[in-house]
Chains A and B, each alone.
Chain A
Amino acid sequence: MTVKTFFIGLIASFAFPWLVVVAVPFAKMRAVEIPQYDDVADGKSGAYTPVKSGRVTDGSAVYGAEGCAQCHSQLARPTYAGNDLGRPALAGIAKDPNLGDTRRESNLWDYDKEPFAWIGETRMGPDLSNYGRRMEIRTAEENAKTAEALGVKVEELSVAQKFNPEMAVYQHLYNPRADNTKSICPSNKCFFKKSAVKGQEQPNALMIDPSSELELVPGAEAQRLASYLLGLKRDGEVPFSMNYSRNKKKATGK
């Protein structure tokens, strides 16, 4: 083998897969056409642009830097790749009281505005694609319980009596073993600052101990992360053309 043939071979054997697997997919994926709703099948028109709540880009950066993706995945795999659609509350809610079965595979727009999709390494902890939805359900359940205990309607509960999902996230970030003693999630105590209570407590502070005059104020990273986590709701509706559920029906019945 001459040096010339070596280089030709090396460059060719690398350039072809590089183009096919890395470069061209990168170029195409950055300009993907946005799916459109169809009047006939969906009963409405317009682009499929799901609105995301929370601090997606900031929060995603904190999520990455803390290595959350090492233990948590964020991917509801289609059936050719796994059973995620059947796992409880992973891909959506199987029996949502209002919406029915909301489970679906992850699609490209679920990761919109995140420069790097945190698909994840392992599932040492639960998949977080629908963490925000699970917190929504939990909020409703907790409010219902409190309302029943107090003998009032849920709508009549005061803000202080209602379950605050953001505080629950802060509690988990501060000490995951408070809710679940077997959790191996790291404590992110460094995200919180102990400070003296001055007058009234800060609205988003965790109380350490009512008798001590100290409260834990979540710092910027904690706020971004909590906002990001609570925004993880990936079971919304999709256009008929992208709907792979067995029970899909066209909106107009045609």
Chain B
Amino acid sequence: MASDITSQQVEDKVLRASIDRSLRHPVMFFFTSGAAWLALSLILGMVASAKSHSPGFLGDCGIFNYGRVFSAHMATFIYGWAAQAAFGTIIWLMARLSRQESKKSGVILSIGHAWNFVISLGSIGILLGGGTGKPWMYFPDWVWPLLIVCYFAIGIWSVIAFRVRRGGHVYISQWYLMAALFWFPWVFLSGNVFVNSFADAGNGVMAAGINAWFRSAMFFLFFTPVAIASAYYIAPKVTGRPVYSYKLALLGFWALAIIGPWAGMQKVMGAPIPVFLQYAGAAASILFIIPAICVGVNVLRTTTGKSETVAHSPSLRFTVAGIIGLIATAVVGGILSHPDALKYTQFAFGGTYGYEILALYGFFSMCMFGAIYFIVPRVTNREWIAGGLIRSHFWMSLYGVVFIGLFCGILGAFMHGYSLEALDVPGEASEDRLLAYTVGITVGWIFVALANVFFCFHLLMMWLRLGRRSSHPTLLEHHEPTLPPA
């Protein structure tokens, strides 16, 4: 009631509003350009997937060759969509939690444009045959130094915001964000330096091993903490309850910090690099279940008993789905990384790709959608136009990613992998087995792409300030009274 609002609360509201206003342009830019890259990435993904079962699709032009289109699909997904969604979330969340208005919005926005320009050129370079082919380092060689410079100019302000934060308790999301802000350059820069700058000074097989470490570390040590930070913010905020256990939150954080950097080299199991590297990678990938369970239990227990809120709130619904995706990723990743399973899944179709999509879309992107559905109304001062668009986005995404990740990723990995390993199955027969799974992935992507048509359209409307002016947030279900009026 109005009389209960204290002057402190009014000040807080004013501060929050000023923070949101100061960050409106860079945050909206990152989210909308990220969504556009997601759309492009999904189109490339559908083309790549179609090419994997119908090579004649779109003719014989070199630009659409599977190798190039697949590389462009992953590069745009990771650096176009995922990185920018992460940046938008990081800068907003750190500003809010540190209660600091951003004074460098202009710089961040300009650098955001530079980031987009660089990856546009890089993606065209890949399609024209200038890519490197190295997984997660697909762009031509000149791209990564520019990306890391852009990153400095985006991320450092959030570090400063944390440092000059108004006094008080540091919230768990801030620890995750700070960690992500430092882990990204440590992994990205040292990974690229070892694999690319020192390409002629190192051993080729070890370069492949470090590349495998790089992929895993980018996921575990950048995308994962950003998504977790977002979940730890949204779940309590929307339900109005405190996080279930702060000790568990810290345990989960340190478990991730200790386990994460070891993982990755199980991808090159059997290669002539020291065996302990391969097994350490496998062990760490399996142990990732520990931080995942910590976060999962914490976030899901925070929302226990609030299933109505989860159902109604777009941001909470996507976040909870994302956290379930985190647990699925950890379990699936653990199964696929076990050395006995690796025999089958290492080179199986979907053994890596299915897992990566589950991780990047089923977990990370779902959490990012949750963040975007939460943040955009606050920075634009408008509400989402239609709950129906959000619902379509949700269900089609869920269906698509579960289909791809679990069905094609796991089943495909083991079925195809078995035929590759069985000594009495000739090569042609294992190639035949692929068909079901490659077609399945195409179908899965079509669902995800359709989901994101709704998302992109909706986000574009918000960016154009065509959202609803309302004091009530857009919810996903009408609240039907379950009890008759007394």
Say if the two chains contact directly (CB < 8 Å). Answer: yes
* Interface of chain B residues 57 through 90 with chain A (CB within 8 A): 60-62, 65-68, 70-71
Chain B residue at minimum C-beta to C-beta distance from A77: B270
- The 8 A CB mask of A109-128 against B (1 = contact, 0 = none) is 01111111111111111110
Q: Is the CB of A186 within 8 A of B65?
A: yes
Q: Is the CB of A75 within 8 A of B348?
A: no
Shortest CB distance A142–B (Å): 20
Partner of A81, one of B53, B130, B342: B342
Chain B residue at minimum C-beta to C-beta distance from A85: B423
Check A108 for interface membership: any CB of B closer than 8 A.
yes
Q: Is the CB of A123 within 8 A of B430?
A: yes
Q: Is the CB of B339 within 8 A of A30?
A: no
Segment of B258-266, B364-372, B381-389 engaged in the interface with chain A? B258-266
User: Which of A88, A117, A188, A221: most chain B Cβ within 10 A?
Assistant: A117
A82-B55 contact, Cβ under 8 Å, with A26-B210, A70-B66, A117-B205: no
Chain B residue at minimum C-beta to C-beta distance from A73: B347
Measured between beta carbons, the chain A residues less than 8 angstroms from B186 are: 14, 18
Q: Is the CB of A66 within 8 A of B133?
A: yes
Please classify the interface of chain B as helix (H, G, I), strand (E, B), loop, or mixed, using the class held by over half of its residues: helix
* Interface of chain B residues 104 through 138 with chain A (CB within 8 A): 129-135
* Interface of chain B residues 179 through 205 with chain A (CB within 8 A): 179, 182-183, 186, 190-191, 194-195, 198-205
Q: In the assembly, what is the distance between CA of A137 and CA of B265, in Å?
A: 35
Measured between beta carbons, the chain A residues less than 8 angstroms from B274 are: 25
Check B145 for interface membership: any CB of A closer than 8 A.
no
Measured between beta carbons, the chain A residues less than 8 angstroms from B272 are: 105-108, 110
Partner of B133, one of A20, A65, A127: A65
Q: Is the CB of B343 within 8 A of A9?
A: no
Q: Is the CB of B270 within 8 A of A124?
A: no
Measured between beta carbons, the chain B residues less than 8 angstroms from A73 are: 347
Q: In the assembly, what is the distance between CA of A115 and CA of B346, in Å?
A: 22
Q: Is the CB of B202 within 8 A of A186?
A: no
- The 8 A CB mask of A78-121 against B (1 = contact, 0 = none) is 10111110111000000000000000011110111111111111
Shortest CB distance B251–A (Å): 12
Q: In the assembly, what is the distance between CA of A124 and CA of B250, in Å?
A: 43
Measured between beta carbons, the chain B residues less than 8 angstroms from A17 are: 261-262
Check A170 for interface membership: any CB of B closer than 8 A.
no
Q: In the assembly, what is the distance between CA of A50 and CA of B67, in Å?
A: 30
Chain A residue at minimum C-beta to C-beta distance from B221: A14
Partner of B421, one of A32, A68, A83, A187: A83
* Interface of chain B residues 220 through 259 with chain A (CB within 8 A): 221, 250, 254, 257-258
Check B148 for interface membership: any CB of A closer than 8 A.
no
Interface pairs (7), CB distance under 8 Å: A14-B221, A29-B203, A29-B206, A67-B133, A81-B270, A82-B343, A119-B268
List A residues at the B interface (Cβ < 8 Å): 1, 3, 6, 9-10, 13-14, 17-18, 20-23, 25-26, 29-30, 32, 63-71, 73, 75, 77-78, 80-84, 86-88, 105-108, 110-127, 176-177, 182-191, 221
